[in-house]
Chains A and B, each alone.
Chain A
Amino acid sequence: MSDARDAVAKNRHTYELEETGFNEVPKKWRKFYRYWEGVGDVLAPNEVVCPVCKVVIRSKRELRPGDKVYCMPCMSRMVVVKAADGSLEAEVIF
Chain B
Amino acid sequence: MADFLSQYSIQRWLEMCPQGYLEDTVYGRGADESEAEDLLGNETMLDAAITATVQLVVGERCALAASSGLVNAAPDYPSKRFLATQTLDEARHVEIFTQRLYDLGVKKDKLEDEISDRANPHLVKFAEVLLEKVEAGDFIAGVVGQNIVLEGMAFSVFEMMEAGNRQLNPKFAHTLRGTIADERRHVGFGENRIGSLIQEHPEKKPEIERMQEEMTYHMLATFALAFSESPDEAIQSNGDSPEAEWHGTNLATATPEEMEAVLAETVLGEFKTRLGRIGLEYQSPKSPV
Contact = CB atoms under 8 A, between A and B. Distances in A.
Interface string A56-84: 00000000000000010111110000000
B189 interface: yes
Given A38-B246, A53-B187, A75 B20 contact: no
A23 B21 contact: yes
Given A24-B20, A26-B20, A94-B196, A39 B248 contact: yes
Contact of A92 (B21, B195, B199, B248): B195
A52 B20 contact: no
A52 B274 CA distance: 8
A51 B185 contact: no
A53 B191 CA distance: 10
B271 to A, nearest CB: 13
A73 B247 contact: no
Contacts of A76: 188, 191-192
B20 A25 contact: yes
Contacts of B7: 75
Contacts of B185: 73-75
A74 B273 contact: no
Contacts of B16: 24-26, 73
B286 interface: no
B247 A39 contact: yes
A92 B192 contact: yes
Tell me if B's interface is mostly helix, strand, loop or mixed.
helix
B227 interface: no
A26 B248 contact: no
A48 interface: no
A75 B86 CA distance: 14
A39 B245 CA distance: 10
Nearest to A73: B184
A52 B187 contact: yes
Nearest to B185: A74
B187 A74 contact: yes
A94 B195 contact: yes
A75 B196 contact: no
B192 A24 contact: no
Contacts of A49: none
Q: Which of A23, A24, A73 has the most CB of B within 10 A?
A: A24
B63 to A, nearest CB: 17
B8 interface: yes
A52 B277 CA distance: 10
B181 interface: yes
Contacts of B184: 24, 52-53, 55, 73-74
Q: Which of B16, B21, B155, B199 has the most CB of A within 10 A?
A: B16
A26 B196 contact: no
A71 B277 CA distance: 16
A30 B52 CA distance: 33
Given A26-B16, A53-B184, A94-B199, A77 B273 contact: no
Interface of A: 23-26, 38-39, 51-53, 55, 71, 73-77, 92, 94
* Top 6 A-B residue pairs of the complex, sorted by shortest distance between their CB atoms: A74-B188, A94-B195, A53-B184, A24-B181, A74-B184, A75-B7
22 contacts: A23-B20, A23-B21, A24-B16, A24-B181, A25-B20, A38-B247, A39-B247, A52-B184, A53-B183, A73-B181, A73-B184, A73-B188, A74-B188, A75-B8, A75-B185, A76-B192, A92-B191, A92-B192, A92-B195, A94-B192, A94-B196, A94-B199
